[in-house]
Amino acid sequence: MFPYLWIYTNGTIQNGIELKSSSGTSFTASGEGFSVATNSHGDVYIVGYGSLGSSRPYLWIYTNGTIQNGIELKSSSGTSFTTNGEGWSVAANSHGDVYIVGFGSSGVQHPYLWIYTNGFIENGIELKSSSGTSFTASSQALDVAIISNGDVYIVGYGNSGVQTPYLWIYTNGFIQNGMELKSSSGTSFTSSSQALSVSVYNTLLPIDNLLSSVNRFSNTSFIKGIKQNTKNSSNTLSTKYIYDLAPIFSPFLNRSSS
């Protein structure tokens, strides 16, 4: 079983593209692609796992019509996971930053965040409990979302006796301790529970010299627009609206209505 990328464009499905190891060879055991994201430049990011003996998490990048060799996602010390690992979900922003979540195991399965920026993959960031300690049993990050100010939100579960849902926030270059998600009465769950998906709502964004109104919603389409007031040489005020209806992180299009 090999991981693949398929592209549907202009009404036609293209032949599959096999996703390979960091050396460009096919995986010898198995592999899967689990999640995909794009940025405003048209780059495509795929995460999953590939196995050359043990399953390891991978990122693949499709850019300018070409698939790159896989990038193995490693531990916080920069070493390969010795048991197994998977990249589970991916999100990208318009600046080219890519955030991947999943798990890695060198004995105990821990949840991880990986960041790909400026053409390089950083060592993994282990996601920890509300007290800042590592989980003692199998745990995993399942989904990731980015808000307009650059903060990254991750959900999944941690396990130090009971599998418990968690939220983690990465902000200003640091990962915060996990926040345990509790019941309606404020108590911890006593049996296995998970947080499966996360979505963010972005509020107004300032843009220099423009009165702007931007509304973005994760996992759906959105309307974004700019209202621009200008005066001509006769001091006559005119208003121009620039707008676009598009998926998240796509650039402004040159459609306008005066």
Beta bridge partners of 211: 227
Widest distance between CA atoms in the chain: 74
User: Is 166 part of a structural domain of the chain?
Assistant: yes
User: Is 204 part of a structural domain of the chain?
Assistant: no
Buried b (16+ CB within 10 A) or exposed e, 114-146: bbbeeeebeebbbbbbeeeeebeeebbbbbbbb
CA 242 vs CA 118, 133, 203: distances in Å: 30, 49, 18
Q: Which residue, of 153, 177, 198, is where some domain finishes?
A: 198
User: Is 224 part of a structural domain of the chain?
Assistant: yes
The rounded distance, in Å, linking the Cα atoms of 73 and 57 is: 5
Q: What is the pLDDT of residue 207?
A: 37
Q: What is the pLDDT of residue 41?
A: 87
CA 112 vs CA 29, 103, 202: distances in Å: 23, 5, 25
3-state helix, strand, coil in the chain (%, to 5): 0, 50, 50
Q: What is the pLDDT of residue 1?
A: 87
Both 220 and 182 in one domain: the answer is no
Sign of CA dihedral 77, 22, 3, 64: positive
Q: Where are the alpha helices (DSSP H) in the chain?
A: none
Q: What is the pLDDT of residue 226?
A: 41
Residue 203 tokens, joined:
């509020």
Both 178 and 228 in one domain: the answer is no
The rounded distance, in Å, linking the Cα atoms of 115 and 170 is: 11
Both 126 and 224 in one domain: the answer is no
Angle (nearest 5°) at CA 41 between 212 and 151? 60
Q: What is the pLDDT of residue 220?
A: 36
Both 98 and 226 in one domain: the answer is no
User: Is 170 part of a structural domain of the chain?
Assistant: yes
> Domain containing 233: what range?
211-257
Q: What is the pLDDT of residue 231?
A: 46
Q: In which residue are the tokens 């640091």 written?
A: 174
pTM summary value:
0.76
Q: What is the pLDDT of residue 116?
A: 96
Both 150 and 66 in one domain: the answer is yes
User: Is 56 part of a structural domain of the chain?
Assistant: yes
Q: What is the number of structural domains in the chain? A: 2
Q: Which residues of the chain, if any, have pLDDT below 70?
A: 202-258
Both 243 and 177 in one domain: the answer is no
